Protein backbone atom coordinates (compact mmCIF):
# COMPACT_ATOMS: atom_id res chain seq x y z
CA UNK A 1 0.00 0.00 0.00
CA UNK A 2 2.88 2.35 0.84
CA UNK A 3 4.55 1.69 -2.51
CA UNK A 4 1.28 2.39 -4.31
CA UNK A 5 0.88 5.73 -2.52
CA UNK A 6 4.49 6.59 -3.25
CA UNK A 7 3.87 5.89 -6.93
CA UNK A 8 0.91 8.28 -6.93
CA UNK A 9 3.12 10.92 -5.31
CA UNK A 10 5.76 10.44 -7.99
CA UNK A 11 3.21 10.87 -10.75
CA UNK A 12 2.17 14.26 -9.37
CA UNK A 13 5.79 15.45 -9.38
CA UNK A 14 6.51 14.63 -13.04
CA UNK A 15 6.61 17.56 -15.45
CA UNK A 16 3.88 17.76 -18.07
CA UNK A 17 6.50 17.97 -20.82
CA UNK A 18 8.48 14.97 -19.58
CA UNK A 19 8.14 12.87 -22.73
CA UNK A 20 10.72 10.38 -21.45
CA UNK A 21 8.63 9.67 -18.36
CA UNK A 22 5.56 9.50 -20.56
CA UNK A 23 7.06 6.66 -22.62
CA UNK A 24 7.98 4.80 -19.43
CA UNK A 25 4.37 4.95 -18.20
CA UNK A 26 2.93 4.00 -21.59
CA UNK A 27 5.45 1.17 -21.90
CA UNK A 28 4.53 -0.18 -18.48
CA UNK A 29 0.79 -0.24 -19.22
CA UNK A 30 1.26 -1.59 -22.75
CA UNK A 31 3.35 -4.50 -21.47
CA UNK A 32 0.81 -5.28 -18.75
CA UNK A 33 -2.07 -5.24 -21.24
CA UNK A 34 -0.17 -7.48 -23.65
CA UNK A 35 0.60 -9.96 -20.86
CA UNK A 36 -3.06 -10.19 -19.89
CA UNK A 37 -4.02 -10.77 -23.52
CA UNK A 38 -1.48 -13.56 -24.07
CA UNK A 39 -2.22 -15.31 -20.78
CA UNK A 40 -6.00 -15.26 -21.29
CA UNK A 41 -5.84 -16.48 -24.91
CA UNK A 42 -3.18 -19.18 -24.72
CA UNK A 43 -5.68 -21.91 -23.74
CA UNK A 44 -7.49 -21.40 -27.05
CA UNK A 45 -4.75 -23.32 -28.88
CA UNK A 46 -3.08 -26.71 -28.86
CA UNK A 47 -0.02 -27.49 -26.77
CA UNK A 48 2.57 -26.43 -29.35
CA UNK A 49 1.20 -22.92 -29.80
CA UNK A 50 0.06 -22.65 -26.19
CA UNK A 51 3.68 -22.83 -25.02
CA UNK A 52 4.79 -20.18 -27.51
CA UNK A 53 2.03 -17.79 -26.47
CA UNK A 54 2.83 -18.46 -22.80
CA UNK A 55 6.44 -17.42 -23.44
CA UNK A 56 5.16 -14.28 -25.17
CA UNK A 57 3.14 -13.44 -22.06
CA UNK A 58 6.12 -14.08 -19.80
CA UNK A 59 8.29 -11.76 -21.92
CA UNK A 60 5.85 -8.86 -21.67
CA UNK A 61 5.13 -9.57 -18.00
CA UNK A 62 8.84 -9.40 -17.11
CA UNK A 63 9.08 -6.18 -19.09
CA UNK A 64 6.02 -4.71 -17.35
CA UNK A 65 7.57 -5.34 -13.92
CA UNK A 66 10.87 -3.75 -14.92
CA UNK A 67 9.13 -0.79 -16.55
CA UNK A 68 7.28 -0.22 -13.28
CA UNK A 69 10.64 0.18 -11.54
CA UNK A 70 12.24 2.10 -14.42
CA UNK A 71 9.48 4.71 -14.57
CA UNK A 72 9.84 5.40 -10.82
CA UNK A 73 13.64 5.48 -11.08
CA UNK A 74 13.37 8.08 -13.84
CA UNK A 75 10.83 10.12 -11.84
CA UNK A 76 13.01 10.18 -8.71
CA UNK A 77 16.58 10.23 -10.05
CA UNK A 78 16.07 11.72 -13.51
CA UNK A 79 18.69 9.41 -15.03
CA UNK A 80 18.50 6.51 -17.45
CA UNK A 81 17.73 3.27 -15.53
CA UNK A 82 20.49 1.37 -17.32
CA UNK A 83 20.85 -1.34 -14.68
CA UNK A 84 17.14 -2.23 -14.62
CA UNK A 85 16.94 -2.12 -18.41
CA UNK A 86 19.75 -4.60 -18.91
CA UNK A 87 18.36 -6.91 -16.23
CA UNK A 88 15.12 -6.86 -18.22
CA UNK A 89 16.87 -7.52 -21.53
CA UNK A 90 19.00 -10.32 -20.06
CA UNK A 91 15.78 -12.17 -19.25
CA UNK A 92 13.53 -11.23 -22.16
CA UNK A 93 15.84 -11.23 -25.20
CA UNK A 94 16.94 -14.87 -24.73
CA UNK A 95 13.27 -15.78 -24.34
CA UNK A 96 12.59 -14.08 -27.67
CA UNK A 97 15.26 -16.35 -29.16
CA UNK A 98 13.47 -19.33 -27.58
CA UNK A 99 10.40 -18.39 -29.63
CA UNK A 100 12.27 -19.26 -32.83
CA UNK A 101 13.06 -22.71 -31.47
CA UNK A 102 9.50 -23.32 -30.29
CA UNK A 103 7.84 -22.50 -33.60
CA UNK A 104 10.45 -24.54 -35.51
CA UNK A 105 10.17 -27.67 -33.35
CA UNK A 106 7.50 -28.97 -35.74
CA UNK A 107 10.19 -29.04 -38.44
CA UNK A 108 12.68 -30.90 -36.23
CA UNK A 109 14.59 -28.03 -34.62
CA UNK A 110 17.09 -29.27 -32.05
CA UNK A 111 17.88 -27.62 -28.70
CA UNK A 112 21.32 -26.74 -30.07
CA UNK A 113 19.70 -24.09 -32.27
CA UNK A 114 18.04 -22.53 -29.24
CA UNK A 115 21.25 -22.49 -27.21
CA UNK A 116 23.25 -20.93 -30.05
CA UNK A 117 20.77 -18.09 -30.31
CA UNK A 118 20.60 -17.66 -26.54
CA UNK A 119 24.41 -17.56 -26.22
CA UNK A 120 24.68 -14.98 -28.99
CA UNK A 121 22.00 -12.84 -27.36
CA UNK A 122 23.74 -12.97 -23.97
CA UNK A 123 27.05 -11.93 -25.56
CA UNK A 124 25.24 -9.11 -27.35
CA UNK A 125 23.78 -7.86 -24.06
CA UNK A 126 26.86 -8.29 -21.86
CA UNK A 127 29.10 -6.42 -24.29
CA UNK A 128 26.43 -3.76 -24.77
CA UNK A 129 26.21 -3.23 -21.01
CA UNK A 130 30.02 -3.00 -20.80
CA UNK A 131 30.03 -0.19 -23.34
CA UNK A 132 27.06 1.65 -21.87
CA UNK A 133 27.69 1.32 -18.13
CA UNK A 134 31.31 0.29 -17.46
CA UNK A 135 33.75 1.42 -20.18
CA UNK A 136 32.02 4.69 -20.89
CA UNK A 137 34.94 6.90 -21.86
CA UNK A 138 37.25 7.15 -24.84
CA UNK A 139 36.81 4.40 -27.42
CA UNK A 140 35.22 2.00 -24.91
CA UNK A 141 31.58 2.40 -25.96
CA UNK A 142 32.41 2.10 -29.66
CA UNK A 143 34.60 -1.00 -29.20
CA UNK A 144 32.15 -2.82 -26.95
CA UNK A 145 29.31 -1.72 -29.19
CA UNK A 146 31.13 -3.37 -32.10
CA UNK A 147 31.35 -6.67 -30.22
CA UNK A 148 27.66 -6.41 -29.38
CA UNK A 149 26.88 -5.73 -33.03
CA UNK A 150 28.81 -8.79 -34.19
CA UNK A 151 26.74 -11.02 -31.90
CA UNK A 152 23.59 -9.39 -33.24
CA UNK A 153 24.60 -10.02 -36.85
CA UNK A 154 25.31 -13.67 -36.00
CA UNK A 155 21.70 -14.00 -34.85
CA UNK A 156 20.52 -12.28 -38.04
CA UNK A 157 22.59 -14.64 -40.17
CA UNK A 158 21.39 -17.77 -38.37
CA UNK A 159 17.68 -16.97 -38.74
CA UNK A 160 17.84 -15.46 -42.23
CA UNK A 161 20.33 -17.75 -43.95
CA UNK A 162 21.33 -20.56 -41.56
CA UNK A 163 19.71 -23.63 -40.09
CA UNK A 164 16.67 -21.78 -38.78
CA UNK A 165 15.71 -20.67 -42.29
CA UNK A 166 15.98 -24.22 -43.66
CA UNK A 167 13.78 -25.57 -40.90
CA UNK A 168 11.16 -22.87 -41.50
CA UNK A 169 11.07 -23.65 -45.23
CA UNK A 170 10.64 -27.35 -44.44
CA UNK A 171 7.71 -26.58 -42.13
CA UNK A 172 5.95 -24.21 -44.55
CA UNK A 173 2.49 -22.74 -43.91
CA UNK A 174 1.88 -20.69 -40.79
CA UNK A 175 5.28 -21.60 -39.34
CA UNK A 176 7.18 -20.26 -42.35
CA UNK A 177 5.13 -17.06 -42.38
CA UNK A 178 5.68 -16.51 -38.65
CA UNK A 179 9.39 -17.19 -38.98
CA UNK A 180 9.77 -14.67 -41.80
CA UNK A 181 7.90 -12.02 -39.83
CA UNK A 182 10.00 -12.60 -36.71
CA UNK A 183 13.12 -12.38 -38.87
CA UNK A 184 12.03 -8.94 -40.01
CA UNK A 185 11.47 -7.93 -36.39
CA UNK A 186 15.06 -8.93 -35.57
CA UNK A 187 16.50 -7.21 -38.64
CA UNK A 188 14.49 -3.99 -38.46
CA UNK A 189 12.96 -3.88 -34.97
CA UNK A 190 16.12 -4.83 -33.10
CA UNK A 191 18.05 -2.29 -35.19
CA UNK A 192 16.27 0.39 -33.14
CA UNK A 193 18.46 -0.46 -30.14
CA UNK A 194 21.81 0.51 -31.72
CA UNK A 195 20.27 3.94 -32.35
CA UNK A 196 19.53 4.25 -28.64
CA UNK A 197 23.03 3.04 -27.81
CA UNK A 198 24.56 5.66 -30.09
CA UNK A 199 22.31 8.36 -28.61
CA UNK A 200 23.50 7.58 -25.09
CA UNK A 201 27.22 6.88 -25.56
CA UNK A 202 30.13 8.77 -27.16
CA UNK A 203 31.96 7.44 -30.21
CA UNK A 204 32.80 7.89 -33.87
CA UNK A 205 29.07 7.68 -34.58
CA UNK A 206 28.43 11.08 -32.96
CA UNK A 207 28.57 12.59 -36.44
CA UNK A 208 25.69 10.35 -37.55
CA UNK A 209 23.30 11.78 -35.00
CA UNK A 210 19.95 10.41 -33.75
CA UNK A 211 17.71 13.33 -34.70
CA UNK A 212 17.88 14.70 -31.16
CA UNK A 213 15.96 11.74 -29.71
CA UNK A 214 16.59 10.67 -26.14
CA UNK A 215 18.20 7.27 -25.58
CA UNK A 216 15.42 6.06 -23.28
CA UNK A 217 12.69 7.14 -25.69
CA UNK A 218 14.36 5.11 -28.44
CA UNK A 219 14.77 2.09 -26.16
CA UNK A 220 11.18 2.30 -24.91
CA UNK A 221 9.79 2.46 -28.43
CA UNK A 222 11.98 -0.48 -29.43
CA UNK A 223 10.78 -2.55 -26.48
CA UNK A 224 7.13 -1.92 -27.23
CA UNK A 225 7.51 -2.78 -30.92
CA UNK A 226 9.62 -5.88 -30.44
CA UNK A 227 8.32 -7.52 -27.28
CA UNK A 228 4.64 -6.98 -27.94
CA UNK A 229 5.09 -7.43 -31.69
CA UNK A 230 6.89 -10.76 -31.26
CA UNK A 231 3.98 -12.08 -29.23
CA UNK A 232 1.37 -10.85 -31.69
CA UNK A 233 3.21 -12.59 -34.55
CA UNK A 234 3.17 -15.86 -32.61
CA UNK A 235 -0.51 -15.38 -31.78
CA UNK A 236 -1.34 -14.71 -35.45
CA UNK A 237 0.58 -17.83 -36.46
CA UNK A 238 -1.36 -19.90 -33.93
CA UNK A 239 -4.65 -18.58 -35.32
CA UNK A 240 -3.53 -19.32 -38.90
CA UNK A 241 -2.36 -22.82 -37.96
CA UNK A 242 -5.71 -23.56 -36.33
CA UNK A 243 -7.49 -22.36 -39.46
CA UNK A 244 -5.34 -24.65 -41.65
CA UNK A 245 -6.46 -27.66 -39.62
CA UNK A 246 -10.13 -26.69 -39.63
Question: Is the Cβ–Cβ distance between 175 and 106 less than 8 Å?
Answer: yes
What tens digit of pLDDT does each residue of 86-140 get? 999 999 999 999 999 999 988 889 999 999 999 999 999 999 999 999 999 889 9
Highest average pLDDT, of 32-41, 104-113, 135-144, 202-211, comes from 32-41
d(C-alpha 98, C-alpha 28), whole Å: 23
What tens digit of pLDDT does each residue of 22-33 get? 999 999 999 999
The CATH number of residue 92's host domain is 1.20.1070.10
d(C-alpha 98, C-alpha 38), whole Å: 16
Given a cut of 80, whether residue 53 has pLDDT beyond it is yes
State pTM to two decimals: 0.90
pLDDT at 59: 98
Average confidence score pLDDT of the chain = 90
pLDDT at 5: 47
Q: Model confidence at 210, in pLDDT bands (50, 70, 90)?
A: low
Domain of residue 211 covers: 2-245
Domains identified in the chain, total number = 1
Given a cut of 60, whether residue 11 has pLDDT beyond it is no
pLDDT at 217: 93
Amino acid sequence: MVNFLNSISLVSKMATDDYVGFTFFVGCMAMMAASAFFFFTMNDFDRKWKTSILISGIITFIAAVHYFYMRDYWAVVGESPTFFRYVDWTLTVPLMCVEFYLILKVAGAKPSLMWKLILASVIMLVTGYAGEAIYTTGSGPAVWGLFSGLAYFYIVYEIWFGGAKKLAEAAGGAVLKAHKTLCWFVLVGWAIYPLGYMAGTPGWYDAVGTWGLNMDVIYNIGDAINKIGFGLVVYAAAVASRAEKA
